Amino acid sequence: MKALGIDIGGTGIKGAVVDTKKGHLITDRLRLLTPEPATPEAIAATVAQVARHFEWDGPIGCTFPGVVKGGQVHTAANLDKAWIDLDAAGLIGQATGCPVTIVNDADAAGEAEARFGAARGKPGVILTITLGTGIGSALVVDGRLVPNTELGHLTLRGGDAEQWAANSVRERLELDWDEWASRVDEYLRMVEDLLWPDLFIIGGGVSKKADRFLPKLTCRTPVVPAELLNQAGIVGGALAVHRHKDKHGTEGQHVPHKHKG
C-alpha cells in the first residue's frame, strides 16, 4: 500500500511516496521551503507542487505543527494564525485533487516510531518528544496513540516550555550543548513526573546529534533518539491515511470530487 507522506514544518515542506506496510520511502525525498508568510493558501499550493512533482494521484497524509481534529486545525503556535479553525484537509484536498488526511506532526512521528522505529513492538507508555522550532509530543500507550497531547506548551519557569527548551531556542541564543541539555533535562523531568512514561524517544532534526546531548540528561526515564530521524514525519503522515474510521467517517479525510474531461 502506498501513500504520499508530506511533512509541513515551519521551515520546510518535505514529501515522498511511502510504502505504508513497510514504513519506507519508495521515492527520493523532495524538500521545498515553507512559503513566507505561511498562509494556508501558500502552503496548500506548495503541497500541490510536491504532489505534482511525484505525479501523485492517490491518498495524501500530511502532518501539521498544531492541534488537528477531524481534518480541522485548532492551533498554530508557530505558523500563520489564519490556519486556526480552518478545514485544512479540505483546503489541501482541493489544491491537490487528492484525498487528504491531516494529523499533528509529533503524533505522526510518534506513530511512525511506534510501528517502525525505536518503540517497535514495545508495550507501555511511550512518549515521543520532538525538539524543533517548537516542542511536540506523542503519547503512545500499548501501541495506541492518544492524539494532540501538546506537552510542549506545559508551563516551565513561568512560560511556555517550548520557548525555554526547543532546538530553535538553542540556535537563537547560541546555547552550548551543556546549557541546552540542562534545559531539555529540566523539561523531561517535569514531563516524567506528570506521566511516568516507560521510554522517551527524542525526535526532530536535532535527534541526528543525539550523542551531543542525550548522555548529559539525568531524568529517570530511559531516553533514546528517534530511529526514523527526518523521515518520521513523512512516514507518519503517510500512515495516517489508514487511520480507523470513526463515527464521523474517515478520520480527518477530505475526498475531493473529481471532474472528468
Given the rule CB under 6 A, which residues bind ligand BGC? 65-67, 75, 77-78, 104-106, 130, 132, 134, 136, 150, 152, 162
CB of 132 to ligand BGC, least distance (A): 6
Q: How far is the CB of 257 from ligand BGC (least distance, A)?
A: 30
Q: How far is residue 163's CA from residue 91's CA, in Å, rounded to a whole number?
A: 30
Place of cell 478520520: 251
For CA atoms 226, 228, 230, 234, give the dihedral sign: negative
Contact 151, 129 (CB under 8 A): yes
Rounded least distance, CB 52 to ligand BGC, Å: 26
Shortest distance in whole angstroms from residue 58 CB to ligand BGC: 26
Phi-psi region of 15 (alpha: psi -120 to 50; beta: other; left: phi over 0): beta
Q: Residue 152: which of 111, 110, 122, 93 has the closest Cα?
A: 110
For residue 99, what are the β-bridge partners? Answer: none
Q: Which is nearer to ligand BGC, 75 or 96 (CB)?
A: 75
Q: How far is the CB of 1 from ligand BGC (least distance, A)?
A: 26
Toward ligand BGC, which CB reaches closer, 3 or 106?
106
Comparing CB distances to ligand BGC, the nearer of 51 and 108 is 108
CB nearer to ligand BGC: give 93 or 132: 132
* Residue with Cβ nearer ligand BGC (128 or 250): 128
Q: Which residues pair with 130 in a beta bridge?
A: 136, 203
